[in-house]
Structure 1
Amino acid sequence: MIPQTPVILTLPEILRYLPQLDLVSAIEQGFVDLSLSKAVVPPVGELLFDDPPGETYIKYGYIKEQDYYVIKIASGFYNNPSLGISSSQGVMLLFSKHTGQLLAVLLDEGRLTDIRTVIASIITIKHLAPKAIKAIGIIGIGTQAKLQLDYLPMVTACKNIVVWGRNPEKTNAFTEHFKDSDYQIQIANSIAELAEKCNVIITTTPATTPLLQASQIKKGTHITAIGSDTSKKIELDTAIIQKADIIISDSIAQSKTRGEIFRARQQQCLDETKLVELGNLIQNPALGRVNDKQITVADLTGVAVQDIIIATAVYNSYKNTTDEH
């Protein structure tokens, strides 16, 4: 067999393939495969840095019925924007599961990680949000917050948005970014004000002390927490997990070492009988919200199946386009 030279796809090339992909359905199936033990996902590898603050994650694995395995290296360095560099960086490597050959290098600069993260978020909103969404609150005003507004129309018609950010200047710039959109965006003066106005809340920060408090959460609220992907980060008061009627984890195994559920478990605030893995919810919607008075929480720590699915989808799209020519 002739050795295969790996395809190298740059970010502009990758972005050209994305509009052709049904990532919601594909990543939903990835979560289902994980819950059915059809995916092999080892523990996360990580490097944490103090000066400057940052983190690098190595997530990897394969889906048993597919042809590839994927190794993803992604990082977040939070001082980067002051240097004119995106805080997200990374690369995905796609290999043949049959020969171990490296088939593709996706130089995505962390963008695919950002996109697969927002897709997981909107999947939780699709399955758990109350029927009548009054307003959607977004805590944080960075890359992930912007992506939420780009992708939310795929699962909801709600255009009422309330945002909160630590930096007033950056928060104003965030709203300015969407001035020509269909959204009506209000800036909340406090997280309490945001929680009062919204029955869907998305948290997107790298906070290490809780931002959203249990006392602020009204009946019927759904919360998707995205930011806490290490053992040190936390966005939700652990009493919110205690108060919730249904708690969704993207990976119950992973929630034992990181995320909001991990912190709640540490403080004996977790009722394990309320905990459902996202893939099981997708298969069986009866495990989710049954009325608009329930409080639901989804804790997303980011799972390798998302990376496997999105890298495979991009590579297959590249192959199909190449074959056509």
Structure 2
Amino acid sequence: MATVINLEEIKSILKNIDIIAAMEEGFIQYSNGNTVVPPVGELLFEKPKGDAHIKYGYIKNDDYYVIKVASGFYDNVKLGIASSQGLMLLFDQKTGVPKAILLDEGHLTDIRTAAAGALAARYFAPKKIKAIGIIGTGIQAKLQLQYLQKHTPCSSIWIWGRNKENVKKFVQELGTDFNIQIAESPSEIAKNCNLIVTTTPSEIALLKAEDIQVGTHITAVGSDTEHKQELESELLKKADIVIADSIPQSKSRGEIYKAVSDGKISENTVIELGTAVQDLKLQRTSEDQITIVDLTGVAVQDIMITKAVYNGYLKNK
């Protein structure tokens, strides 16, 4: 019978796992062609607004394969429910026998996404970070900020969100560990920060090319369907380095998809994250470069974090 691991136990196990290192290994395996990751399954909802993603795959010659279902329903906050929901299913790769059901309620998706953001900043953010800008006020915004502190620490923070009440609540949740400024617009974030993370489900570009300073790094997290967009396509044209977590996925979703569709960049100029982390020449080489990492979310991340939690569970038995 498959082991059922609930959210509280998952959170306890995560304390002893280096998730950023796991993400790096996963992206390398992916870009080196050592994984089988089919196209994303997707359900889009209108009433209420939401989406569900089915991501699945395996690392070749590994012990397991993983199927993940994760959703985002953005009106859940009105019901007192987290917008992220979901679960992970772990199977024996040799027999197909179910080994574990991780009832993570979307938490593992949130954590692996934040860890990927920290990994992106580790290789592409400028060495001297004057301020971190966070666009969005949800759980992912908070986790991105927390995980950034592991490799690119900075206590000067600028926050922008559409809903002022949500912004105030978000600032209160962050406590006194940061020096926080509330921006009136995304452009104000751009004018004051050289490390920016976008975490919204916006379908209209929030950051404009004309607002971005020389030397800025942007990690775009929110645009994970063909309809979402947080960065103006002209901004990707302006960037010196454009990174995709998955080049195949960037052909149908995310900021790169929009910029290519708009004729602003060519697919040939995009570098895959797992390739870039292995080659210094493909990483930031100057403090003046503008860099963008487009994170659409790849199944290999789910594979890595699910395996890590399950192995941690076995150690604790």
Interval containing the TM-score (normalised by the shorter chain): over 0.9
Report the counterpart of residue 210 of structure 2 in structure 1. 215
| 1:44 aligns to 2:34 (yes or no) | no
Unpaired segments ≥5 residues, structure 1: none
Code of the residue aligned with 2:31 in structure 1: it is S
Report the counterpart of residue 206 of structure 1 in structure 2. 201
Q: Tell me how far apart the structure 2 counterparts of residues 60 and 130 of structure 1 sit (CA, whole Å).
A: 34
| 1:10 aligns to 2:6 (yes or no) | yes
Report the counterpart of residue 314 of structure 1 in structure 2. 309
| 1:176 aligns to 2:177 (yes or no) | no
How far 1:241 sits from its partner (Å)? 0.7
Q: Tell me how far apart the structure 2 counterparts of residues 293 and 180 of structure 1 sit (CA, whole Å).
A: 32
Report the counterpart of residue 136 of structure 1 in structure 2. 132
Report the counterpart of residue 97 of structure 2 in structure 1. 101
1:149-185 per-position Cα deviation (integer Å, ceiling 9, x unaligned): 221211112111100011111101111112232x111
Structure 2 SS opposite 1:134:
coil
Residues 65 and 303, structure 2, Cα contact 8 Å, conserved in 1: yes
Residues 245 and 274, structure 1, Cα contact 8 Å, conserved in 2: no
Q: Tell me how far apart the structure 1 counterparts of residues 51 and 154 of structure 2 sit (CA, whole Å).
A: 34
Structure 1 SS opposite 2:281:
helix
Q: Tell me how far apart the structure 1 counterparts of residues 67 and 175 of structure 2 sit (CA, whole Å).
A: 38
Counterpart selection for 2:284 from 286, 289, 299: 289
Counterpart selection for 2:81 from 67, 85, 92: 85
Q: Tell me how far apart the structure 2 counterparts of residues 130 and 307 of structure 1 sit (CA, whole Å).
A: 28
Residues 259 and 299, structure 1, Cα contact 8 Å, conserved in 2: yes
Report the counterpart of residue 145 of structure 2 in structure 1. 149
Code of the residue aligned with 2:122 in structure 1: it is K
Structure 1 SS opposite 2:277:
helix
Alignment of 1:271-282 (within 5 A): 271-282=266-277
Residues 209 and 234, structure 2, Cα contact 8 Å, conserved in 1: yes
Structure 2 SS opposite 1:16:
helix
| 1:250 aligns to 2:225 (yes or no) | no
Q: Tell me how far apart the structure 2 counterparts of residues 225 and 65 of structure 1 sit (CA, whole Å).
A: 32
Counterpart selection for 2:65 from 63, 69, 75: 69
Superposed CA RMSD = 0.8
Q: Tell me how far apart the structure 2 counterparts of residues 109 and 170 of structure 1 sit (CA, whole Å).
A: 22
Code of the residue aligned with 1:275 in structure 2: it is V
Q: Tell me how far apart the structure 1 counterparts of residues 149 and 237 of structure 2 sit (CA, whole Å).
A: 31
1:108-127 per-position Cα deviation (integer Å, ceiling 9, x unaligned): 00000000000001100000
Unpaired segments ≥5 residues, structure 2: none
Counterpart selection for 1:33 from 29, 36, 56: 29
Structure 1 SS opposite 2:228:
coil
1:227-265 per-position Cα deviation (integer Å, ceiling 9, x unaligned): 000000000000011111100000001100100000111
Code of the residue aligned with 1:222 in structure 2: it is H
Structure 1 SS opposite 2:301:
helix
Report the counterpart of residue 257 of structure 2 in structure 1. 262
The alignment covers a number of residue pairs equal to 317
Code of the residue aligned with 1:251 in structure 2: it is S
Residues 250 and 303, structure 1, Cα contact 8 Å, conserved in 2: yes
Code of the residue aligned with 2:180 in structure 1: it is I
Structure 2 SS opposite 1:121:
helix
TM-score where L is the length of structure 1: 0.96
Q: Tell me how far apart the structure 1 counterparts of residues 44 and 267 of structure 2 sit (CA, whole Å).
A: 29
How far 1:273 sits from its partner (Å)? 4.3
Counterpart selection for 1:120 from 107, 116, 122: 116
Report the counterpart of residue 163 of structure 1 in structure 2. 159
1:5-32 per-position Cα deviation (integer Å, ceiling 9, x unaligned): 1000010011110011011111101000
Structure 2 SS opposite 1:20:
coil
